[in-house]
Amino acid sequence: MRVWIMAAALALAATPAGAETVRASVESGVLAGEATDRARIFRSIPYAAPPVGPLRWAPPQAPQPWTGARPAVEAGPSCPQPMREDGAPNAGGANGPMSEDCLQLNVFAPLAKPGAKPGAKPAPVMVWIHGGSHRTGAGWVYDGQNFARDGVVLVAINYRLGPLGYFAHPALTKAALSMKGGAKAPLGSYGLMDQIAALKWVQRNIAAFGGDPTNVTVFGESAGGMSTLALLAAPDAKGLFQKAIIQSGGGWFEPGSLAAQEKVGVAAAEKLGLPAKATVAQLRAVPTETLIAQIDGDFGPFPDGRLLPRTATQAFAAGAEIDVPMIIGWNNGEDSLLGGPGGGARFAASLPPMARAFYEEAAAEGDEALGRAVFTDRVFGAPARWIAGQGADGAPVFLYHFSYVGDRFRRMLTRAHHAAEIQYVFEYWGRRTPDSVVSDEDRAMATLMHGCWVAFARAGAPACKDQAWPAYDPVSDQLLEFGSETGVRQGFSRRQFDALEQFTLPTLALPAP
């Protein structure tokens, strides 16, 4: 099933004129960033070599060093992706220049405290993986200054997208096998390889910004949440982070294989006019704009038997995931991904008749309401609860449901759409939202949710002021709802989620218990 995943367009805030220049020294050289009243900011830092020429569809390589101080004030380019012709942000919030030379990250670090002694306790680190259906978006879209203000080093990364980020072809496999160590070379999920490379860069360099490489939280929304789940299933990612947050990342993924993806790649190459037995050189000679315009599909991490031995779903079912404290949850209006009127009815047409027996209220409203209710639960809600249950016997897992609708949206919306929670997590409204339309109630929700995330990054437990948030236990089946009345809920949609598990899990090729 195709699911278009969009990210909220939290565009980067403008930096005040006359900001102070600040420097940091990393493995490749010196960076010249800037300081605002909340953070030290370093943008467009290369964490890997440009993936161009012979490095297109290859694992990321070490960045090249530079001499002198590299300017780190302006945002770098987005990775190649479909852009709007009018220059407005696309579904992933990105606009402006693009380049295959895009493996860069931004760092938002706390300001140096006056009189701080050398060797002071390092800050927790959070690494943000943007959403956008694995085909749009960019790390520069997100402003991490409020995390830095609260003592967290926030890192926002770019990674390869679409057919440049997730692509397999027999010629690429053959070329990898012919290289030294090729039998174990990762294949296909180049965007996921980039994320691992960025996390390794953090391990080597984050101390230069005051961050603690032994206290890293990886978190992401939508495609970024799916990527976080894939990282939890990737053996090469073990030890690179100590906590994880999955926002609207699902959890139930169809079984896949390298061989299946190679067939998809061959068909895509033939669509471009290449022969069935196209060579690596022929593939890499295709112009970037042609690839982005003509190769479409459901992009994202897939098992290759190397980087990903199995899907994240299969890893959690087998108890083979990286065992770290987690937060996982979803929004009550994820059906916004179905588009406008008619999207729910089209989805309902694919449902078995028995779905009506478990969604009586929605079914009574008609196929549009039924399809939207089942979509939200099948793709996001039930998988999130299942992941929480699978992980509950290890490190603590905290399950949430987000239903808060911003004050300014209530005349138009009754549910929190996909990606709506991001602005509350970042406690930042974006450059296109004037403060005058943000209510005190909105600010209170942002303060609460942002504080939960910061506390989790610090200590692995979301201490949320006076709001209790118990770790998930399948018996008590509790979650925290962030809504007009925030609080702990027990047995949330249990009957529907249980039914979805019964009918969906047998289709995911899970290991025998």
Residue numbers annotated as active site:
222, 334, 418
Distance of alpha carbon 269 from alpha carbon 291, whole angstroms = 9
Q: Treating both helix axes as pointing N-terminal to C-terminal, what angle do 170-177 and 258-271 enclose, rounded to 10 degrees?
A: 120
Q: Treating both helix axes as pointing N-terminal to C-terminal, what angle do 223-232 and 190-205 enclose, rounded to 10 degrees?
A: 70
Q: What size, in residues, is the chain?
A: 513
Asked if 365 contacts 293 with a C-beta cutoff of 8 angstroms, the reply is: no
CA 250 to each of CA 147, 314, 360, 382: distance values in angstroms, whole numbers, following the listed order? 25, 14, 24, 8
DSSP structure string for 407-456: GGGTTT-SS-BTTTTHHHHHT---TTS-GGG--HHHHHHHHHHHHHHHHH
Distance of alpha carbon 339 from alpha carbon 321, whole angstroms = 34
Q: Treating both helix axes as pointing N-terminal to C-terminal, what angle do 494-504 and 382-391 enclose, rounded to 10 degrees?
A: 80
Q: What is the DSSP letter of 507?
A: G
CA 346 to each of CA 349, 415, 418, 452: distance values in angstroms, whole numbers, following the listed order? 5, 20, 19, 37
